[in-house]
């Protein structure tokens, strides 16, 4: 009689020992932690992409909207007696959106003013009229393409041009390069119809 009882106790002890020593990584709570961690990383990546896209929209809207009254005053001042009049204004406007090193290139190459200065000189007002479509590159983590329509208005006449290009952002979402591939002839159209 002792033998079957002893066998049951040994069997229960071995079974209890096996359950206590099971792999912690296979436990449901461990799987939940892995799933939560993966979801958190996906959510963080999604948040980074949304932040980058918002920065892109903001910068492109700044570049293709206006000129407003303050910009007009600065353009006039720049053209008449102070060629650097616009730089402090632009630096303040873009410093939180562009990487520091790129900001200097952006200002030096007039990337933030080409279209607005042309509009000012030709008497036009610019405004994006379609949502800025932004597509993330499939091959480069921080690269995007963009496309949208810009209205250029003068004397109660409005026309549109489609602008598209590409750009790159840093890990923090700030822009490190902008390349307008085609402005749909916007600068040329405004220049020719003075």
- For the chain, domains (ranges, CATH) are 43-192 (3.10.450)
Beta bridge partners of 168: 143, 177
Task: Give the H/E segment covering residue 56.
Answer: helix 28-63
What span, in angstroms and rounded, lies between the C-alpha atoms of 87 and 129?
Answer: 27
Quote the pLDDT of residue 179. Answer: 97
Burial of 87 (0-12, 13-18, 19+ CB in 10 A): middle
Q: Residue 149: how many CB atoms within 10 A of its CB?
A: 16
Quote the pLDDT of residue 193. Answer: 80
Any alpha helices (H) in 64-130, and if so which ranges?
69-80, 87-94, 100-108, 114-122
Quote the pLDDT of residue 22. Answer: 46
Q: For the chain, give the mean pLDDT.
A: 85
Q: Tens of pLDDT along the chain (194 residues)?
A: 455 554 555 554 544 544 454 444 444 554 555 544 455 555 667 788 899 999 999 999 999 999 999 999 999 999 999 999 999 999 999 999 999 999 999 999 999 999 999 999 999 999 999 999 999 999 998 999 999 999 999 999 999 999 999 999 999 999 999 999 999 999 999 999 86
Quote the pLDDT of residue 24. Answer: 47
The answer to whether the CB of 64 falls within 8 A of the CB of 187 is no
Nearest CA to 146 out of 58, 57, 49 is that of 57
């Amino acid at each position: 009689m002792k033998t079957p009882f002893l066998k049951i106790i040994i069997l229960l002890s071995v079974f209890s020992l096996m359950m206590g020593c099971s792999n912690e990584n296979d436990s449901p709570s461990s799987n939940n932690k892995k799933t939560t961690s993966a979801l958190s990383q996906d959510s963080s990546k999604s948040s980074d992409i949304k932040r980058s896209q918002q920065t892109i929209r903001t910068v492109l809207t700044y570049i293709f909207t206006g000129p407003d009254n303050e910009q007009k005053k600065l353009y006039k001042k720049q053209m008449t007696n102070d060629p650097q009049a616009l730089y402090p204004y632009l630096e303040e406007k873009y410093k939180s959106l562009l990487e520091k090193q790129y900001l200097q290139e952006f200002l030096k190459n007039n990337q933030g003013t080409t279209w607005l200065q042309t509009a000012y000189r030709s008497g036009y007002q610019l405004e994006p009229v379609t949502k800025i479509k932004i597509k993330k590159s499939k091959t480069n983590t921080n690269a995007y393409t963009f496309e949208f329509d810009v209205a250029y208005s003068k004397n109660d006449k409005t026309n549109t041009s489609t602008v598209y290009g590409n750009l790159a952002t840093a890990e923090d979402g700030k822009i490190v390069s902008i390349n307008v591939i085609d402005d749909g002839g916007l600068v040329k159209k405004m220049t020719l119809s003075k």
